[in-house]
């Protein structure tokens, strides 16, 4: 009770006094590019195929998405039922992964939409991610049309020189996020 719940702060002061240095601060936040994908018309497709065939197609989807994310040095975070969430340490890799996922899933007759944003993300103990950057990525993904890969202006700014051809899709209000946000489509 003497320390009043401030054990770490007091230990830091003692360490500073004895050694002249403090322990490094370990942040649970990282700068990352988040990628969201969503299967276009998933409910209708599931109804047409039936549960068993749909589940099999989703397993194939998840496997292909995982392969492309890993091939582009990203981390597959989780399946979202009819899409996926992945993170990358650079926007160009995330863009390349998104277009490769779109193209490979097209080969198995699945059409997706994708959205990317770069920002600080919280790292959770279960390997999940969160934070405003994740919400922005999801909102940008929801703006994409079938086959589109949309990116935030942040991703555009950070990937200048990567050789991507972009089409300006204008400013958009993202639900719950101060803005407006300028969005760009990757031209294929």
Please give the chain's pLDDT, 188 residues, in tens. Answer: 455 666 666 777 777 777 777 666 556 899 999 999 999 999 999 999 999 999 999 999 999 999 999 999 999 999 998 999 999 999 999 999 999 999 999 999 999 999 999 999 999 988 999 999 999 999 999 999 999 999 999 999 999 888 889 999 999 999 999 889 999 999 87
Secondary structure, 3-state, the chain:
CCCCCCHHHHHHHHHHHHHCCCCCCCCCEEEEEEEEEEECCHHHHHHHHCHHHHHHHHHHHHHHHHHHHHHCCCEEEEECCCEEEEEECCHHHHHHHHHHHHHHHHHCCCCEEEEEEEEEEEECCCCCEECHHHHHHHHHHHHCCCCCEEEEHHHHHHCCCCCCCEEEEEEEEECCEEEEEEEEEECC
The model's pTM is 0.84
């Amino acid at each position: 009770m003497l320390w009043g719940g401030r054990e770490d702060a007091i230990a830091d002061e003692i360490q500073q006094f004895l050694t002249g240095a403090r322990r490094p601060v370990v942040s649970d936040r990282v700068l990352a590019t988040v990628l969201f994908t969503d299967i276009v018309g998933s409910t209708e497709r599931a109804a047409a195929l039936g549960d068993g065939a749909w589940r099999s197609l989703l397993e194939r989807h998840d496997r292909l998405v995982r392969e492309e994310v890993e091939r582009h040095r990203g981390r597959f975070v989780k399946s979202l039922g009819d899409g996926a969430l992945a993170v990358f340490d650079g926007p160009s890799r995330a863009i390349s992964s998104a277009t490769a996922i779109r193209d490979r899933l097209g080969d198995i007759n699945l059409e997706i939409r994708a959205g990317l944003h770069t920002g600080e993300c919280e790292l959770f103990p279960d390997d999940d991610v969160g934070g405003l950057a994740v919400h922005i990525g999801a909102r940008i993904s929801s703006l994409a049309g079938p086959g589109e890969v949309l990116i935030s202006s942040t991703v555009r700014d950070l990937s200048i020189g990567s050789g991507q051809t972009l089409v300006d899709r204008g400013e958009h209000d993202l639900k719950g996020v101060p803005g407006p946000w300028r969005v760009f489509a990757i031209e294929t």
